[in-house]
Chains A and B, each alone.
Chain A
Amino acid sequence: MITRQIRKWLISGVLALVATSTVNAQTFVFTAIPDEDETRLVERFRGIADYLSEQLEVDVRYIPVKSYAAAVSAFRNNQVQLAWFGGLSGVQARALVPGSEALAQGVEDQAFYNYFIAHKSTGLERADKLPEGVRGKTFTFGSKGSTSGRLIPEYHIRDQFKEPPESVFSRVGFSGNHTRTLRLVESGTYQVGALNYKVWDKELEDGNINTDDVKVIWKTPGFPNYQWTIRGDVDDRFGEGFKNKVRQALLNLDDPALLESFPREGFIPASNDDYEPIRSVASELGIID
């Protein structure tokens, strides 16, 4: 009697586990690379989720992830169908998911750039090229999978010094994201760092940077960066024309508060070919096979 009861419980437990895991099959889920402070990302992308949900007339949900690779894997595994990727993560994701497309990019993402920043103790000043004086200093990238925090800075370091970063600098670290790179160089934990200009400009505007302690020493040439990428099979799942609806919704986004949260002036169409320069640099550095 008791064993039968227990068996019944066990079976219902297993069934419930299975049931709860399929309940959300028709929710349109998206993610974003964790390139900044999480609080800010959650705030920004919840707004986007509400906006898309209204425009697309389906449930839209944002899930935060802990790493760039986790964002790419979730996209690849079809646990998210749309993602706000960086240049490199987008290239990786689209290579892994045949049929996926870059839908839209920020106006600024056509010619994005990076800042190299330095702590005051280095005495380095802004220059037209990466100053020779960075040699022997400590240096931090952002995340390992970041375009503006890793790929582009590493490319320019190798290009100028003809050596890998580990031999140019006395210590090389990965802060995790752009906000942390800024904080670590500002506090002197690392003497030099490289970050996304958008994060720097926004923090500067908000008065969150002590410009006596940290300053920009070099601005890189432009490169294509962030974009919205969508899986190729969304039309099968959410109905004919769904992909175009998503694209239109993103291109039509004109809520100033939402755009300001990125911050972008607006979104414009993008294509997979726009990111060829990123792909070839990544391949040259051995980051992609």
Chain B
Amino acid sequence: MLSYPTVRASLLFLAIAVAGLFVADIAITTANPWRDLGQFFIGVATPNFFSTEGLLTALLRTVAFGFVGVALGSFFGFLLALVYRFLPVRIFCAFIRAIHELFWALIFLQFFGFHPLTGVLAIAIPYAGIFAKVYSEILEESDPEPSRLLPPGTSAVAAFLYARIPDCWVQIRTYTAYRLECGLRSSAILGFVGLPTLGFYLESSFSQGMYSDAGAMLILFYVLIATMPIWVRPKLLPAYLLAAPFFLGEGFPIVWGNVQRFFTEDIVPFPIRNGEGLTGLSSWLGDLMITEALPGIWNTIVLTQIALVATGLLSLLAFPLISKHFGGPVRRTSGHVLLVIARSTPEYILAYILLQLWGPSMLPAVVALALHNGGIIGHLIGRQTNTIELRPDAPTGFTRYSWELVPRVYRSFLAFLFYRWEIIMRETAILGILGIYTLGFYVDSAIQNIQFDRAMILILITASLNIGVDVLGRTIRRKLALQTMPTC
């Protein structure tokens, strides 16, 4: 078995994660974690839909921010995809998507404040970077044959519209619809930093232990996501898109002087603002690196590696839940429900809930990341096994699982996992805002101390780390000859 490169890679990552467990802080620190968890489930079982007058408005805002953000992101992403072959464009896109929506929101909050633009841009900018990459991959893979058959003199635009787009239209549409779902999740969590979406009320109810109120919000959110195929119809889309900007809420007027101040003063490193020159800057940077950046990077990497392997293990355990090769329709339906809940709850919300219940350590973060990402990969792999036809005399039970199915899906499983590596790291960094000592913790501290120069440097470090992992993930996928379609 060791002669397979995929097995060797898996064992290497497993070993790193196990080593990580020895240095990671994975304690449960609450005195009564199970009682709290029980109270939470009782809350979900007895939802109170009438707690906040603003609940429906928050739901509406969540949808509005999601639609406007994703629409703008997809529009600009498409334009960028057309010029994606130029290296500067690729670097630019990699950079804007390496910064998490919440970090973008925290940045815009400093100069746009509570204006709808803050939330819209926080979604649109990183999404444009992702759309650009995926659209360009889709366009690249379209069949070149039709354009060769066009008569000479056909304009480039016509050739593009009539020979390229039709071939990949379905893929573009499917992917965009899928990102819309991601957009709703992103929109919901923006509430955690103060925008008027669902997360705003979820955070309030949770931090006050009002689990029935929080339960109601979670249920509404699942219903919203699960019913998307019903209410998101191609024919209705233009109407939604036109209406969405009107439902973003009023916010407060933008003061343009604030924007200028942010870029010309706030983010200029303190020693330079203070006229201390390069010597001042280097000692300031050195201090920042040693006291904040390095511990943050270390914790981010440790947590990412543990969460990555936990995600992998959970996906392998979860996919039989929806596979037609195991169990009857009842088991599969409940499996579907479980996986839908796991993957439609944003990691941030899962981690927030678990942190409240178990206390601050890396454990809630690992479990949250594994549940959400394992839910997604488990779903994709499970669906893939449904296309596999086994011989009528194929073994059953555990032998079927381990000798028939896992080997057949293992390569695509690894492909998905390495694809999500960068996404897991992006989330790991952001979970620091919740009090785990990853890079996000230090970014949040800098912002809380109104030291935006420090915050910006730490965000740039986070972005570089994500880009590094993205490149590494792609290299490994290429080395192992793994192919995949993107997920979010």
* Chain A residues in the interface with B (C-beta under 8 A): 9-10, 13-14, 16-17, 20-25, 29, 37-39, 63, 65-70, 72-74, 76-79, 92, 96, 119, 138, 143-145, 171, 173-174, 176-177, 179-180, 183-184, 187-190, 287-289
Interface string of B182-207 (1 = CB under 8 A from A): 00000000001110000010011001
Top 7 closest pairs, chain A to chain B, by CB: A188-B31, A66-B194, A79-B252, A144-B448, A38-B204, A79-B113, A189-B30
Query: Which residue of A has the minimal Cβ distance to B120?
Result: A17
Contact of B450 among A63, A72, A74, A180 (CB under 8 A): A72
Given contacts A21-B116, A66-B192, A289-B451, contact A189 B248 (CB under 8 A): no
Interface residues on B, range: 35 or more
Q: Is B20 an interface residue (CB 8 A)?
A: no
Chain A residues with Cβ below 8 Å from B29 are 138, 171, 189-190
- Chain A nearest Cβ from B276, distance in angstroms: 11
Q: Is the CB of B30 within 8 A of A69?
A: no
B208 near A143 (CB under 8 angstroms)?
no
Within 8 A of A (CB), among B97-115: 109-111, 113-115
A17 to chain B, nearest CB (A): 5
Residues of A within 8 A of B114 (CB): 63, 74, 79
Contacts of A173 in B (CB 8 A): 360, 435
Cβ-based interface call for B483 (8 A):
no
Q: Are A66 and B208 in contact, CB atoms less than 8 angstroms apart?
A: no
B270 at the interface (CB under 8 A from A): yes
Given the interface pairs A13-B242, A287-B449, the reply to whether A24 lies near B250 with Cβ below 8 Å is yes
- Residues 267-301 of B, flagged 1 when their CB comes within 8 A of A and 0 if not, give 00010001000000000000000000000000000
Given A21-B116, A22-B253, A171-B29: A70 touches B109 (CB 8 Å cut-off):
yes
With A and B bound together, what is the CA distance between A64 and B248 in angstroms?
Answer: 18
Q: In the complex, which of the residues A13, A66, A179 has the most CB atoms of chain B within 10 Å of its own CB atom?
A: A66
What's the minimum C-beta distance from A179 to chain B, rounded to whole angstroms? 8
The residues in B between 223 and 254 inclusive whose CB is less than 8 angstroms from any CB of A are 242, 245-246, 248, 250-254
Q: Is the CB of B208 within 8 A of A289?
A: no
The answer for the CA separation of A42 and B141 in the assembled complex, in Å, is: 55
Q: Given the known A-B contacts A16-B245, A78-B255, A174-B435, are A289 and B270 also in contact in the complex, defined by CB atoms under 8 Å?
A: yes
Known: A14-B245, A190-B29. 10 other contacts (CB 8 A): A21-B253, A38-B207, A67-B194, A73-B109, A77-B113, A176-B207, A179-B208, A184-B359, A189-B30, A189-B31
Which residue of chain B has its CB nearest to the CB of A23? B250
Q: A187, B242: Cβ atoms under 8 Å?
A: no
A46 to B32, CA, bound (A): 36
Q: Give the distance in Å from the alpha carbon of A227 to the alpha carbon of B52 in the complex.
A: 30
Q: How far is the CB of B206 from chain A (nearest CB, A)?
A: 11
Contact check, A187 vs B30: say whether CB atoms are below 8 A apart.
yes
CB of B242 within 8 A of CB of A9, answer: yes
B340 / chain A contacts, CB cutoff of 8 Å:
none
Q: Are B449 and A145 in contact (CB under 8 A)?
A: yes
Q: Using Cβ atoms and an 8 Å threshold, which residues of chain A touch B245? A: 13-14, 16-17
Q: Does B347 contact A (CB under 8 A)?
A: no
Chain B residue numbers with a CB within 8 Å of A67 are 193-194, 448
Rounded to whole angstroms, the CA-CA distance of A252 and B110 in the bound complex is 34
B447 within 8 A of A: yes
Residues of A with C-beta under 8 A to B444: 144
Distance A224 CA – B446 CA, assembled complex (angstroms): 24
Decide if the interface of chain B is mainly helix, strand, loop or mixed. loop
Is the CB–CB distance between B194 and A189 below 8 Å? no
The interface residues of chain B lying within 8 Å CB-to-CB of A13 are: 242, 245-246
B209 within 8 A of A: yes
CB pair A24–B450 under 8 Å, yes or no, is no
C-alpha spacing A190/B30, complex, angstroms: 8
Query: Once the chains bind, are B208 and A37 in contact (CB under 8 Å)?
Result: yes
Chain A nearest CB from B24 CB (Å) reads 14
Selected A-B contacts with CB under 8 Å, 29 pairs: A10-B242, A13-B246, A17-B246, A21-B115, A21-B251, A22-B253, A29-B252, A37-B207, A38-B208, A39-B204, A39-B208, A66-B200, A69-B449, A73-B110, A73-B113, A74-B252, A78-B258, A79-B113, A79-B252, A92-B449, A144-B445, A171-B29, A173-B435, A177-B207, A187-B30, A187-B31, A190-B359, A288-B449, A289-B270
A39 to B251 CA separation, bound complex (whole angstroms): 21
Residue interface bits B250-267, CB-to-A below 8 A is 1, else 0: 111111001000000000
Cβ B248 vs Cβ A17 within 8 A: yes
Q: Which residues of B contact A76 (CB under 8 A)?
A: 258
Chain A residue with Cβ nearest B29: A189
Cα distance A21–B116 in the bound complex, in angstroms: 9
Task: State in angstroms the CA–CA spacing of A287 and B359 once bound together.
Answer: 26
Bound form: Cα–Cα A69–B246 in Å: 29
**Cα-based distance from A149 to B253 in the complex (angstroms):** 32
State the CA gap A143–B435 with chains docked (Å). 11
Chain B residues near A78: list those with CB within 8 A.
255, 258
Query: Do B448 and A74 have beta carbons less than 8 Å apart?
Result: no
Provide the residues of chain B in CB contact with A10, threshold 8 Å.
Answer: 242
Provide the bound-state CA to CA distance between A65 and B110, in Å. Answer: 13
Per the bound structure, the CA–CA distance linking A88 and B354 in Å amounts to 31
Distance in Å: Cβ of B190 to nearest Cβ of chain A: 11
Tell me the minimal C-beta distance from A1 to chain B in angstroms: 16
Q: What is the CA–CA distance of A66 and B194 in the complex, to the nearest angstrom?
A: 5
- Contact between B208 and A144 (Cβ–Cβ < 8 Å)? no
A212 to B255: give the CA distance in the assembly, Å.
52
Measured between alpha carbons, how far is A47 from B132 in the docked complex, in Å?
Answer: 49
Contact (Cβ within 8 A) B32 A187: yes
State in angstroms the CA–CA spacing of A102 and B222 once bound together.
Answer: 46
Q: A39-B208, A77-B255 are in contact. Are A96 and B450 (CB under 8 A)?
A: yes
What is the bound-complex CA distance between A192 and B300, given in angstroms?
27
Distance (whole angstroms) from the CB of B32 to the closest CB of chain A: 7
CA distance A143 to B111 in the complex (A): 22
Q: In angstroms, how far is the closest chain B Cβ from the Cβ of A286? A: 9
* Interfacial residues of chain B within 22-76, with CB under 8 A of chain A in the complex: 25, 29-32
A171 / chain B contacts, CB cutoff of 8 Å: 25, 29, 360
B250→A66 contact, CB < 8 A:
no
Contact of A144 among B25, B246, B270, B449 (CB under 8 A): B449
Within 8 A of A (CB), among B294-332: none
Residue of A with least CB distance to B252: A79
Shortest A11–chain B CB gap in Å is 11
A96 nearest CB across to chain B (Å): 7
Residues of B within 8 A of A72 (CB): 450
Q: How far is the CB of A186 from chain B (nearest CB, A)?
A: 9
CB-defined contacts of A184 to chain B, threshold 8 Å: 359
**Cross-chain contact B193 with A69 (CB below 8 angstroms):** no
Residues of chain B within 8 A of A96, CB atoms compared: 450
